[in-house]
Amino acid sequence: MKIIAIAKNTYREAVRSKLFLLLTVFSIAFILFSKIVSLLVISSSEKIILDLGLAIIEIFTILLSILISVNLFYKERDKRTIFNILSKPISREQFILGKFLGLSLTLFVSLVILGVIFFLYALIVTGNLHPYIFPQLLLFFVEGEILVSFSLLFTSVSTPILSSIFSLGIFVVGNFSSNFLLYYEAKVKGVVKLLVNIVYYVLPNFSILNYKNQLVYTKGIALSNFLNATVYGIDYALLILVLSMIAFKNREIL
Partner 1 sequence: MKEKILEIINLRKSYPSGTLLLKNTEVLKGININVYKGEIYSLLGHNGAGKTTTFKIITGISKQDSGMVLFKGKALSLKDKSRIGFLPERPYFYEYLTGKEFLEFSANLFNIKKSKAQIEALLSLVDLKDAVDIQLKRYSKGMLQRIGIAHSIINDPEFIILDEPLSGLDPIGRKKLRDLILSLKEEGRTIIYSSHILQDAEMISDRIGIIVKGRTIMEGSLEELVSGEIKEVDVGFYGVNKIPEGIEYIKAEKKSNVFYITVRDTIEANKLISKIIEAGGYIKFVNPVRKTLEELFWEIKDENNSNS
Q: Would you tell me which residues interact with partner 1 (CB under 8 A)?
A: 1-2, 4-6, 8-9, 12-13, 16, 79-91, 252-254
Q: Are 106 and 10 in contact (CB under 8 A)?
A: yes
CB of 40 to partner 1, least distance (A): 41
Nearer to partner 1, 3 or 67 (CB): 3
Question: Which CB sits closer to partner 1, 87 or 224?
Answer: 87
State the greatest distance between any 2 C-alpha atoms of the chain, in Å, as a whole number. 61
Amino acid identity, position 200 = Y
Closest separation in Å from C-beta 5 to partner 1: 3
Which is nearer to partner 1, 157 or 168 (by Cβ)? 157
In whole angstroms, the minimum distance from the beta carbon of 253 to partner 1 comes to 6
Residue 98 vs 135, nearer CB to partner 1: 98
Q: Closest distance between partner 1 and the C-beta of residue 243, in Å?
A: 20
Nearer to partner 1, 35 or 99 (CB): 99
Q: Measure the CA–CA gap between 248 and 93, rounded to whole angstroms.
A: 8
Measured distance CA(191)–CA(204) in Å, rounded: 21
Task: Give the span between the Cα atoms of 147 and 104, in whole angstroms.
Answer: 10
User: Distance of CA 105 to CAs 4, 10, 230, Å?
Assistant: 11, 9, 17
Spatial distance between the Cα atoms of 142 and 232, rounded to a whole number of angstroms: 9
Helix (H) or strand (E) holding 190: helix 190-202
Taking the complex as a whole, the smallest distance from the CB of residue 6 to partner 1 amounts, in Å, to 8
Question: Which lies closer to partner 1 via its Cβ, residue 2 or residue 193?
Answer: 2
Q: What is the DSSP string of 105-164?
A: HHHHHHHHHHHHHHHHHHHHHHSS--TTHHHHHHHHHHHHHHHHHHHHHHHHHS-HHHHH
Q: How far is the CB of 15 from partner 1 (least distance, A)?
A: 10
Least Cβ distance, residue 11 to partner 1 (angstroms)? 12
The amino acid occupying position 61 is T
Give the nearer residue to partner 1 in terms of CB position, either 79 or 189.
79
